[in-house]
Structure 1
Amino acid sequence: MTKNIVTGVDGNFGSIVASKIQSLVPKESLLFTAPTKQGIKEYAKQGIKTAVADFNDVDGLVSIFENADTVLLISMPFVGKRRRQAHKNVIDACVKGNVKKIIYTSLVNATDPTMPSIEKIDHAWTESYIEATELDYIFLRNSQYAEAMITNYFAIADSGVLANNQGAGKMAYISREDCAIAAAHAIANPYLHHIILNINGPEQLTITDFINIGNQATSNSVRYNEVSDDEQYAIFDKMGVPRTTEGKFKKGSAAPFSSEGMVTFGQSIRNGQMAIQSNDFQAVTGRKPRTVEYLFENADKYQIGDRHVDN
């Protein structure tokens, strides 16, 4: 019997993986983890093996991960040294615990040294650290979640203007749900080894294209206004968005991310450095990813939701 571990099943991404994976592999081969008992309670009731996993406790992780066939490491929601240390602890535990394969949720074009995204630094570091071990791996380089921009669209719909710094850059927006489904399929697929997969949406869109699709689906009349990076920071400052992930986030915010992350993400899109598209999602899952049009037509299901911070 194989042993497939999904970490962070209490989070937005991990909960979708936990739901989908049960239709792909036998329940007996699964082990779900979260940093608290509350986070795994519902799965334990379903008869799935569970464990409380503290990413700051390598020895504890080793005992949980021991001899696992796969471990899914969902990138942590904070940025910088603390995230790299948490990822390192998981990877070290995989090595010590004789894990065969680690699957990591990374970022589109993560290893481009010229890309300004602050987020990409941790992803590139994590990929490199894994590559330096003897672990088998799958890196899932996800495009930007469409849910983030859909939530933003509805938050500003009454004002009629969506202002950001992406300019005419393109992004193959994909739903978080599809990214999680791709992760579940990656866990279930025994034939993927030492591979990087680009998990992208079906079409490259400028933010103006994105807004136009939203207008067609909702009958709103939102227009795009390009702003400078400094103006973008000022907008987020006015919203009470913290500059870094070490700041305080408002519950229910339409932008539950750090402004430093979002502004440098916008820079990267504007520079054309995130305009990557592939058919890897379809190859892994057997179907095409959801279109932005579909997501807007079912917008109640595709909002970014509250921020989850584990460990």
Structure 2
Amino acid sequence: MTVGRIVITGASGNYGRGVSDRLIAMGRAAELILITRRPDRLAERAAQGCTVRYGDFDQPETLAAAVQGARKMLLISGTRVGARVEQHKAAIYAATAAGVAHIIYTSFIGIDDPANPAEVRHDHIETEALMKASGAAWTMLRDAHYADAMILMAGPGVMQTGKWFSNAGEGREAMVWRDDCIESAVAVLTGEGHENRTYNITGPELQTFREVTAMMAEMTGRPLEYVPLDDDAQYAMFDAMGIPRRPRDNHEVGGIPWNSDDMVTFGRAIREGFLALCTDDVERLTGHRARSVREMIEQNRAFLAGG
């Protein structure tokens, strides 16, 4: 086995590409084994010197060969909320059977409390338990909600209607830039002393969606209103948009892979205080402070304002 090789699952997704971009820029292309269901999408990575292999969470037999030769694995959580435990189990079992010594996982904040209603909790807490029982060293990167998801994906709809509808109430969370999550993962993959540790990867401050709406209004010069909804009204709004309640593979509405069970339970978890976590783990891992929601809005002011 080549000591130091890193295998990345879901390597053709946004997170996987972000991690491999940074590792390639560090001169580590030859150390990377990139797993994807669509190797053709990573042809440029092969040309850059990475090893690209076919692997499918839903076909465990494909993973055994895919992970061969790796010392560390970045297990990027699958996208099918409610169905990920079996997928992740297959990857963990394949990794440990192949001698992978350290598994790093993109988990989620606030999952220790069994009262947390977020549907994603089950997938993540069960995956973490499998990792801890695997015999390999582990690191949990518990990422907060991406600021990018709300500002760049949901933001244009807010600007168009002039209203931010949410069942999150006055709950607070510390949304984080996806890039800060990616850079934290790179720090763990390339650094030392991260074995058997859990990091809460959050933004720098707790905020309500009402406060975020006010920031967007201030910086774009548009009048915007925050409109709290109850859970039933939030479901009804998503139903009217054609968003499925359960996740579907390769299904997007407005370019976003929505499913409302995930989003409504997420909003409830925020409302009930389960995601009100804020740490300096980004700075501890990367050496720079976590970037803020305000900075995300400022950087994308023209996009949000429609120009």
For 1:25-104, what aligned pairs fall within 5 Å after superposition? 26-81=28-83, 83-104=84-105
For 1:148-297, what aligned pairs fall within 5 Å after superposition? 148-150=149-151, 151-246=153-248, 249-253=251-255, 255-297=256-298
Q: Is the 8 A contact 1:186 1:192 kept in 2?
A: yes
Partner of 2:142: 141
* Offset from partner CA, 1:200-239 (integer Å, 9 cap, x none): 0011100011111111221111110111000000010111
Q: Is the 8 A contact 1:295 1:302 kept in 2?
A: no
| Worse-superposed segment, 185-194 or 61-70 | 61-70
Cα distance in 2 for residues equivalent to 1:91 and 1:214 = 41
Partner of 1:110: 111
SS of 2:77's partner is coil
| Worse-superposed segment, 228-237 or 286-295 | 286-295
Q: Structure 2 length normalisation: TM-score?
A: 0.93
Cα distance in 2 for residues equivalent to 1:184 and 1:228 = 39
Shift, 1:302, TM fit = 9.4
SS of 1:157's partner is helix
Q: Is the 8 A contact 2:33 2:67 kept in 1?
A: no
SS of 2:44's partner is helix
Cα distance in 1 for residues equivalent to 2:278 and 2:163 = 28
* Offset from partner CA, 1:218-262 (integer Å, 9 cap, x none): 111111011100000001011111101037733534x53210000
Partner of 1:307: none
Q: CA 1:221–1:236 in structure 2 vs 1: closer, same or farther (change >3 Å)?
A: same
SS of 1:105's partner is strand
Cα distance in 1 for residues equivalent to 2:303 and 2:192 = 30
SS of 2:100's partner is coil
* Offset from partner CA, 1:51-77 (integer Å, 9 cap, x none): 112223434322232342210011001
Q: Is the 8 A contact 2:80 2:249 kept in 1?
A: no
SS of 2:227's partner is strand
SS of 2:74's partner is strand
* Count of residues in correspondence between the two structures: 301
* Offset from partner CA, 1:72-98 (integer Å, 9 cap, x none): 0110010123x1111010000011111
Cα distance in 2 for residues equivalent to 1:97 and 1:288 = 37
Cα distance in 2 for residues equivalent to 1:25 and 1:99 = 22
Partner of 1:308: none
Cα distance in 2 for residues equivalent to 1:59 and 1:241 = 33
SS of 1:22's partner is helix
SS of 1:209's partner is helix
Cα distance in 2 for residues equivalent to 1:258 and 1:4 = 32
Q: What is the letter of the counterpart of residue 96 of structure 1?
A: A
Q: What is the letter of the counterpart of residue 106 of structure 2?
A: T
Shift, 1:300, TM fit = 7.8
Q: Is the 8 A contact 2:33 2:70 kept in 1?
A: no
Q: CA 1:268–1:11 in structure 2 vs 1: closer, same or farther (change >3 Å)?
A: same
Q: What is the letter of the counterpart of residue 300 of structure 2?
A: A
Cα distance in 1 for residues equivalent to 2:280 and 2:146 = 17
* Offset from partner CA, 1:16-41 (integer Å, 9 cap, x none): 11111223463222222211121221
Q: Which runs of 5+ in 1 are unaligned?
A: 304-311
Q: Is the 8 A contact 2:112 2:125 kept in 1?
A: yes
| Worse-superposed segment, 161-170 or 59-68 | 59-68
Partner of 2:123: 122
Q: What is the letter of the counterpart of residue 194 of structure 1?
A: N
Q: Is the 8 A contact 2:167 2:268 kept in 1?
A: yes
Cα distance in 2 for residues equivalent to 1:5 and 1:302 = 35
Cα distance in 1 for residues equivalent to 2:53 and 2:199 = 29
Q: What is the letter of the counterpart of residue 96 of structure 2?
A: V
Q: Is the 8 A contact 1:67 1:100 kept in 2?
A: no
Cα distance in 2 for residues equivalent to 1:191 and 1:85 = 29
SS of 1:158's partner is helix
